Amino acid sequence: MSGDLDATHDPALRSWVPGADGHAAFPIQNLPFGIFTPPDGCGPRGGVAIGNRILDLGRAAAAGLFSGLAEQAAAAASADTLNSFMGLGAGPRRALRGRLSELLRAGHADVATVAGCLHDAAACVLHVPARIGNYTDFFVGIHHATNSGRVFRPDHPLLPNYKYVPIGYHGRASSVLASGTDVRRPKGQIKPLDANVPRYAPSERLDYELELGIWIGPGSALGEPVPIAQAGDHIAGYCLLNDWSARDIQAWEYQPLGPFLGKSFGTTISAWVVTPEALAPFRIPQPARPDGDPAPLPYLLDAADQAGGAFDVVLESLLLTPAMREAGLPPHRLAVSNTRYMYWTAAQMVAHHSSNGCNLQPGDLFGSGTISAPTADGRGCLLEMTFGGRDAVTLPSGETRRFLADGDEVILRARAEKPGAAPVGFGECRGRVLPAL
Ligand code: MN
């Protein structure tokens, strides 16, 4: 199973790549996959992050550095998207990871050949790593569901289905953007509470959402639910995801069919696919449900998933305004949360998504839903932080925000660490708001 630890996880491993040891996100124990264009313009193509460099998988394959399953995986991951690599599943992915760990390890016999396959990451452009057929956004952050529900329904913030169904909606794949891409403030139908009719105007309540992204690997057949015990095998990796949300458009349009144009104008993801193998040391039991909560229905309940299907990954959201940028101030941390606050595991999302026979495809993307901590310093969106826009957030520049202003940049970060393991990060998920057209 992909939760097993092996030589690639050894915290004592060192890399010969300068700056990789102790790198905040990409030490040799991480080895995330992505799609990049190097400075020579010869791309997009597949690569692996190591420190501040990117290993060019196509070039490494051409140099004869892989064989067997690892060679098969490297060939797939060298393409201009990771879809076919994701579809190969855990076996080839683990074989490639094992070989990459050998090639990049201090003491490797042919450093010169491997070094010839490295690019300076700062000079490369990162892309959305897969052609996303379908994007689905869930709602599994229970503290977010409670806090945002309380804004509208103070007495019963969680609806009765919440503890039975991993709630989700079908999002829009075409507007998923790689970190660093600007996002245009959307226009849409807005109906203030005191107005009788809506108008079409730029959103005045633009928000972000701090989410975990889940990449689907091997697909499933139409008509055939994925059993919960096998659901983890269908996950290719993880990323950060910012589900930009226009709360005013959302509030007017969402009943009765759910989110639509208030969400579909843009979703930003971190560009690196952090594999289940890289996160294996940070698996934790799914936190026990509070007394009185129902047990998951049998098709969502698996002992191994309950024992190790959650993750201890620290999530952060930060904001950088144009005035802060001008003053040379660093991004201001708005919240710290953790993937442990997901009420449902990633495997439960996969099992539920396919439970009606809907087929999954390699490169499909799930969002977890906003993941907030139970504490006031861990709220994963402005809707929660400002209680629906009532209470302004004060920034180090003296500015205040209820919702995002033009030029504001939202930065999401994720990092996993624990004693006895090398810390790994996800790389940033960053996007700046452009004025409405
Ligand atoms: Mn969302």
Q: How would residue 385 be classed by pLDDT, with cut points 50, 70 and 90?
A: very high
Domains and CATH numbers, the chain: 7-127 (2.30.30.230), 135-434 (3.90.850.10)
**2 pLDDT above the threshold of 60:** no
* Cα of 112 from ligand 1 centre, angstroms: 45
Active-site residue identified among 143, 144, 234, 352:
144
User: What pLDDT was estimated at residue 432?
Assistant: 98
Q: What are phi and psi of 399, to 5 degrees?
A: -70, 160
pLDDT at 1: 41
Distance between Cα 109 and ligand 1 center (Å): 47
Average pLDDT in the 370-399 region? 97
CA 344 to centroid of ligand 1, rounded, Å: 15
- At CA 135, angle to CA 43 and CA 52, rounded to 5? 40
- Judge whether residue 275 has pLDDT over 50: yes
Range 27-45 average pLDDT: 96
Cα dihedral across residues 171, 173, 178, 183: positive or negative: negative
Question: How many angstroms is it from 241 CA to the middle of ligand 1?
Answer: 9
Stretch 290-303: mean pLDDT, rounded?
A: 97
Q: What separation in Å is there between the alpha carbon of 254 and the centre of ligand 1?
A: 13
What are the beta bridge partners of residue 310? 284
Residue 3 has pLDDT above 60, yes or no: no
3-state secondary structure of 178: strand
From the list 359, 381, 347, 170, the residue with the least C-alpha distance to 260 is: 170
Cα of 356 vs centre of ligand 1, distance in Å, is 22
- Cα distances (angstroms) measured from residue 401 to each of 145, 210, 243: 22, 17, 18
Position 152 confidence tier, pLDDT thresholds 50, 70, 90: confident
User: Running DSSP on this structure, what letter comes out for residue 231?
Assistant: G
Decide if 119 is catalytic.
no
- If you search the block for the tokens 């096998």, which residue do you land on? 230
Q: Is 51 left (phi over 0), alpha (psi -120 to 50) or beta?
A: left
| Ligand 1 midpoint to CA 168 (Å) | 9
At residue 64 the predicted structure's pLDDT band, cuts being 50, 70 and 90, is: very high
111 compared with 152, residue with greater pLDDT: 111
Q: Distance from the CA of 146 to the center of ligand 1, in angstroms?
A: 14
Q: 351 C-alpha vs ligand 1 centroid, how far in Å?
A: 19
Of the candidate ranges 107-116, 148-157, 237-246, 251-260, the one whose mean pLDDT is the lowest:
148-157
211 CA → ligand 1 middle, Å? 7
Chain mean pLDDT for the chain: 97
| Alpha carbon of 346 to ligand 1 centroid (Å) | 15
3-state SS class at 251: helix
Give 393's pLDDT tier (boundaries 50, 70, 90): very high
pLDDT in tens, 176-212: 999 999 999 999 999 998 999 999 999 999 999 999 9
Structure-block tokens of residue 374: 């139970």
